[in-house]
Amino acid sequence: MNRELREFRRLERVCLEQAALSTLDLARSGLLKVADDCRIAAEAIEAQSPRGAFAEAVQALKLALRPKGTSKRH
């Protein structure tokens, strides 16, 4: 997952750099859209990754407080 995050961030940076160099509006617009998509993907990956010991403690607390007797099946 860390590799994917780095790759999306790298692609975002490359697209932004190429958009800044582009002389064609259509190419610039497309590159900016791809950069935005890469940013969104990277942020989604970051949101899924744990943030250290505090995040682990919060997750453990959530699991401990979750009702154990209920089932989601009907």
When comparing pLDDT for 14 and 71, which is higher?
14
Position 32, amino acid: L
SS3 53: helix
Question: Could you give the CA distance from residue 4 to residue 27 in angstroms, rounded to a whole number?
Answer: 25
Could you report the per-residue pLDDT of 29-61, keeping only the tens digit for each? 999 999 999 999 999 988 887 666 566 666 677
Would the pTM count as exceeding 0.85?
A: no
> Average pLDDT of the chain?
84
Asked if residues 12 and 35 have their Cβ atoms less than 8 Å apart, the reply is yes
Asked if residues 35 and 15 have their Cβ atoms less than 8 Å apart, the reply is yes
Around Cβ 40, how many Cβ atoms within 10 Å?
A: 12
